[in-house]
Amino acid sequence: MKRALIIVLVLVLLVGGIAAYYFLAPKPPEKVELTLFTKAGLWADFVRDSGAIERFKERMLKERNLEVEVKILTAPHKGYHEKLIATLAAGTVLDVFWVRPDMIPDMVEAGYLLDLTPYVEKWDEWGKFYEANKEMVTYNGKVYAVPNDAAIVMIYYRKDIFKKVGLPVPWQPKTWEDVLEAARIIKEKVPEVKAPLSPYYGGEIQIPIYSAGGTIYDPADGKFIVKSEEILFLFKVYYDAFYTYEVTPRELILEKWDTRKLFQEGKLAIMVDGTWCYSEKWGPGMAYEIPNREEVVGYAYIPGSGTPGAPDYVVAIRDYSWAIGANSKHPDLAFELLKELVKPDIMADWGYKTSHLVARSDAVIGDYAKDEFLKWNTEAMEKYGVAKPLALGARKYLSLLKETVEKELITAGKTPEECMEAFAAAVTKELGADAVKEKP
Amino acid sequence: MAKKILKTIAEPSFTAIGYVILFLLFAYTLTPLVWLFITAFNPRGGPYLEIPKEITLDNFIRVFTGERGTGGTGTAAHPIYMSRWIANSLFIGFATMLITVLLSAPAGYALSRLEFKGKDFLMTAILLIGFMPMTSKMLPLYRLGKILGLIDNLLGVAIVIASGTIPTQIWIIKGFFDHIPREIEEQAWICGCDYLATLFRVVLPAAGPGLAVVAFLSFLSGWGNFTVPLIMIYSEPLYPISLGLASIFVHNPGEIGLAIDYGSACALSVIYAIPPMVVYYIFREHLMKIRLGKIEIR
Amino acid sequence: MFSEIKNWVRVNVRNLTLTLFMIPALAILIIFQLIPTIWTIWISFTDMALIGKKFLNYSFIGLRNYIEAFSDSYFWLSMRVTLYYCLASLVIRFMLGLAAALYITSKKFKGKRIMAAVFLLPYIIPGAIHSYVWLSMLETDYGTVNRILVALNLPPQSWMYERLTESIIAINCWAGYALAMLVLVSALTSIPKEYYEISDIYGASKWFKFRKITLPLIKYPLILTLILIFKEDIDDFTYAYMFTGDTPYPDYRTEIIALYAYHKAFSDFELGFGCAIGFIIAIIVFIITLIQLKMGGI
């Protein structure tokens, strides 16, 4: 009897001990692997060196007792998007990846992207992001990505040439006529300038539409605008630059001249281009270095059209963002990683190192905040930034617009009215008659 | 008489023209490479040819130590993995070579010796089987690689590249086997030699130059291939040099990309060009035996 | 009787061995070439796109991609560029290769080994480097070519625009002529010299020797070289791509057909259409290869 009792007692103690150990002792952390897909070289190096992944791992171990391994997958810069799309199309699981926001609508329709709306709603820092940048990753009212950086498109001008011909420095054109007029004066007085004006940057060709207070897409009925006063204004501006004022040689576009190099050599006086040029092309040690950059390179806002209802200035935003794959097995973990990747200090560091703008207001810190040029850019974006509408077909619409400008206007020399007709026909054919409309 | 005069004038002038053409061919071949070799030794090289004031080996050292370059505030890629890329390319090159030789030599021999109905059809089919452009096949190939577990796998890359080179190599090697008179092996066979022994003792040595050509060409296609690793390799430590160079040279206008460290990129390119030359040097005797003084085609 | 059976067994063992020799190569070809090709052909009959709604809800549309391609004026523009590009490349690559091969095999010219190595240099240097090397050559203001032209008091040319198609052909030929040289040299050197010695005894003329000995013996590699060159030219758009980028020139001056297929499949993401163009390329290659094979009597 006594012996049986002892045996029972030992057994109970044993079971209890094991149970206690099982419930009370620290659990060995569970192991999880996440994949992060970005461009090789600079981009992947930055993610590795920024410390974001270490912070994420530490936090996960502490908060969720998870041992997370982040595997960095890459593709070279050239061919990145092809590889990203092919990878997703083959059904491979990518947890976090680097994506260009204008691809978002098409990628959502193909079922590649996870809807992040429920995650950002619970994230207190989401409110810190600039409205325009948030707009650029929101499609059909849902958020599909988190902005990592931004850049704006502006007017660069050569201060030395401006001083030579007696134009004011600093210079801020109030209308597009001011821009064309300045270019005309330069053409007259400084013949060695091969091209006084480069009127657009290929990725943001739609800017004059916004200058005139127009838009390309009506979110109310989901239709693209193919004919309007503002679109006509765009063709007129470009027509004036190439033909009326003859301040832009057609070869600039037809021969794909390297505008950044021409600008460096002083053979191009005024150009529309993005933030990145200032450091990446003309900065110290870069391919087209301008030694006394601060004295030579001036920058200004792109003006409005001057007509009533038009904005004073137009600042077009471009950016890159992080998205999460729709087939991710650990979407909440992936989002936690994403939060670390866009922390203010990391974003400011990236912006300063690569001459890109930050996408959130609390990231204007450190070296980034001290840089004159970046400060000017950030303010411009905050004040005047407009986001391109994120709609299915917008990518096609804009590429058709560029095609029309280059084929009909520059190559064939058609009038603005004819160009608009051709453009409307091309968009209607490509997107369907129900997806487009005319604005009286 | 007139013929003789013509001959005495024509022969030297033909030779002169020959030397002129030779010079032009040399200039055409070598001028583009001058930039590459000079920039590799230039401490501050750029995209265009410039004669450096001083010569340095730092660029080469950077490739192997993985230090960052000094020019510019930041460069598009830092050479942390460069030495690994070289090893990966070597692996892919030799694996492709081995697979191609081991598979196409027997097949070429069999096609040379066997007579069967539909042989011409099979030969043509082999040549045409891979004639769909690579980029169109990208998605199917990727899915296939995923099913077979060959993604992010250097051996998988070598197999896929080999599958692309095998058809033409079978044709080339078959041509060489066709040139080996059958009588040799038939005699050996009649003498009672084992069939496989005949192959190894008689046929293979005679096909040596052909095998060398196949080995050389398949090494080249493995070593220099860009598209297949682009589809199949994801991790930077597993990049071959071709992918690595594409991630260093960032040229697209309008896209983000910092200054290129031309010095170490060119040094890597020079290193990239050396192994094919070594392989060529090893096989050169077989590639073209310059012993046929007797052929005059003019 | 016994020896007959023994012989029968031996012949069959030999044939079986030879058949087995072909199996591994054919297996690799079927898995990595045939299956993706058939897969691609199937995609070409659908309206599949890589992004957008058409990725999930694509449908079988029969020949519509092909009809669309043939009624597209850009397709024909691209075909014209392709014809020019391929024909010029084929002729130049072959002629340069032949010239180089003759230099190497002739006895007149000294330093054949070095010559051979130099001629092979562009071919064995991996393609990933070619782009940067030629960019440094062709740039309008700083490019080596124009600097040489200016030094010779010749007008500089706009290689990057007005003569862009020719520039691309020049790069392609530069990179590829050694292939023709290699095959031709191997072919020339593999002709047994006894053939010529015998014909010398009979006092045959040079022309007779060329026509009756050299030509028949090098015909096979000759045809193979032409096929290889043509396939490479129509398939490989690396050089056209690097001077074009992600969107074609407004007048399609560099848009060879393979690049057009690539732009359709991966810039516009219309995979079905891109694959249809890919299949059209494959058919063109198929037809031309057959013609070349028939002409060669192989």
Gap from B268 CA to chain A (nearest CA, Å): 15
Going across the sheet that includes A436-438, the strands are A217-218, A223-227, A436-438
Per-residue model confidence (pLDDT) at position B298: 21
Mutate to test the interface with B, among A33, A34, A36, A42 (most CBs of B within 10 A): A42
Beta strands in A159-281 (DSSP E): 195-198, 217-218, 223-227, 268-274
Chain B contact set for A274 (CB, 8 A): 254
The boundaries of the domain holding residue C266 are 72-296
Chain B contact set for A398 (CB, 8 A): none
Per-residue model confidence (pLDDT) at position B1: 58
Per-residue model confidence (pLDDT) at position B98: 92
The residues in C 83-122 lying below 8 A from A, measured between CB atoms, are none
Measured distance CA(C273)–CA(C48) in Å, rounded: 8
A132, two tokens: 């325009």
C132 Cβ under 8 Å from any chain A Cβ: no
Mutate to test the interface with C, among A251, A256, A396, A410 (most CBs of C within 10 A): A256
Per-residue model confidence (pLDDT) at position B292: 26
Measured distance CA(A101)–CA(A131) in Å, rounded: 15
Per-residue model confidence (pLDDT) at position B290: 32
Q: Mark yes or no for CB contact C33/B293 under 8 Å.
A: no
Within a domain: A379: yes
Within a domain: C277: yes
Q: CB burial class (10 A; 0-12, 13-18, 19+) of residue C122? A: buried
Gap from B248 CA to chain A (nearest CA, Å): 7
Element (H, E) at B98: helix B82-113
Give pLDDT tens digits for C194-232: 777 777 787 777 777 777 777 777 777 777 778 878 888
Per-residue model confidence (pLDDT) at position A24: 67
Q: Mark yes or no for CB contact A85/C51 under 8 Å.
A: yes
Per-residue model confidence (pLDDT) at position B294: 24
Q: Do the beta carbons of residue C185 and residue C140 sit within 8 Å?
A: no
Per-residue model confidence (pLDDT) at position A108: 92
Per-residue model confidence (pLDDT) at position A234: 92
Instruction: For residue B29, give the 3-state DSSP assignment.
Output: helix
What ipTM goes with this model? 0.80
Chain C contact set for A399 (CB, 8 A): 247
| Residue C288 identity | I
CATH number at residue C157: 1.10.3720.10
For CA atoms A124, A125, A131, A133, the dihedral sign is negative
Within a domain: C246: yes
Out of C28, C118, C278, whose CB is closest to B166?
C28
Q: Do the beta carbons of residue A329 and residue A94 sit within 8 Å?
A: no
Within a domain: C142: yes
Q: Mark yes or no for CB contact B253/A74 under 8 Å.
A: no
| Vertex C129 angle, CA C126 and C130, to 5° | 90
B231 Cβ under 8 Å from any chain A Cβ: yes
What is the chain A residue with the closest CA to C163?
A255
What is the chain B residue with the closest CA to C50?
B139
Q: Do the beta carbons of residue C152 and residue C146 sit within 8 Å?
A: no
Within a domain: C235: yes
Q: Mark yes or no for CB contact C161/A251 under 8 Å.
A: yes
How many inter-chain contacts (A to B, CB under 8 Å) are there? Answer: 105
Each residue's pLDDT expressed in tens, for chain B with a length of 298 residues: 566 666 666 666 667 788 888 888 888 888 888 888 888 888 777 777 777 788 888 778 877 776 665 544 445 455 677 888 889 999 999 999 999 999 988 898 888 888 888 888 888 888 888 778 877 888 888 888 888 888 888 999 999 999 988 888 888 788 778 777 777 777 766 666 666 777 777 777 777 777 887 888 888 888 888 888 888 888 888 888 888 887 776 654 334 445 567 777 888 888 888 888 888 888 777 665 433 222 222 2
Out of B230, B235, B253, whose CB is closest to A83?
B230
Element (H, E) at C41: helix C35-44
Q: How many independent structural domains does chain C possess?
A: 1
Give A72's strand partners.
A36
Measured distance CA(B126)–CA(C33) in Å, rounded: 10
Phi, psi of C243 (to 5 degrees): -100, 5
Q: How many independent structural domains does chain A possess?
A: 1
| Residue C187 identity | A
Give A99's strand partners.
A321
C284 Cβ under 8 Å from any chain A Cβ: no
Strands A145-158, A142-143: pairing kind: unpaired
DSSP A74-111: EE-STTHHHHHHHHHHTT---SEEEE-GGGHHHHHHTT
Within a domain: A400: no
Q: Mark yes or no for CB contact B143/A87 under 8 Å.
A: no
A148 Cβ under 8 Å from any chain B Cβ: no
CATH number at residue A44: 3.40.190.10
The boundaries of the domain holding residue A139 are 30-150+319-386
Measured distance CA(C222)–CA(C227) in Å, rounded: 9
Chains that touch B (3 or more CB pairs under 8 A): A, C
Within a domain: A289: no
Within a domain: A212: no
For CA atoms C132, C133, C134, C139, the dihedral sign is positive
Name which of B282, B136, B271, B152 is nearest B216 in CA terms. B282
Out of B73, B142, B152, whose CB is closest to A86?
B142
Each residue's pLDDT expressed in tens, for chain A with a length of 440 residues: 677 778 777 778 888 777 776 666 666 778 889 999 998 877 888 888 888 899 999 999 898 888 899 999 988 877 788 889 888 888 888 999 999 888 899 899 988 999 999 999 999 989 999 988 898 899 988 999 999 988 899 999 999 999 999 898 889 999 999 999 999 999 999 888 888 999 988 888 999 999 988 888 888 888 899 999 899 999 999 999 999 988 999 888 887 777 888 898 899 999 999 888 888 778 776 777 888 888 899 999 999 888 888 888 988 888 889 999 998 999 999 999 999 999 999 999 888 887 888 999 888 888 888 888 889 999 988 888 888 888 888 888 998 999 899 888 998 889 999 999 999 999 998 888 888 888 76
Name which of A70, C129, A46, C247 is nearest B257 in CA terms. A46
Measured distance CA(A216)–CA(A209) in Å, rounded: 8
Within a domain: A410: no
Q: CB neighbours of A188 closer than 8 A, spacing ≥ 6? A: none
Q: Mark yes or no for CB contact B258/A90 under 8 Å.
A: no
Q: Mark yes or no for CB contact A110/C251 under 8 Å.
A: no
For CA atoms C165, C167, C170, C171, the dihedral sign is negative
What is the chain B residue with the closest CA to C297?
B120
Give the pLDDT mean for C119-129. Answer: 82
Instruction: For residue C171, give the 3-state DSSP assignment.
Output: helix
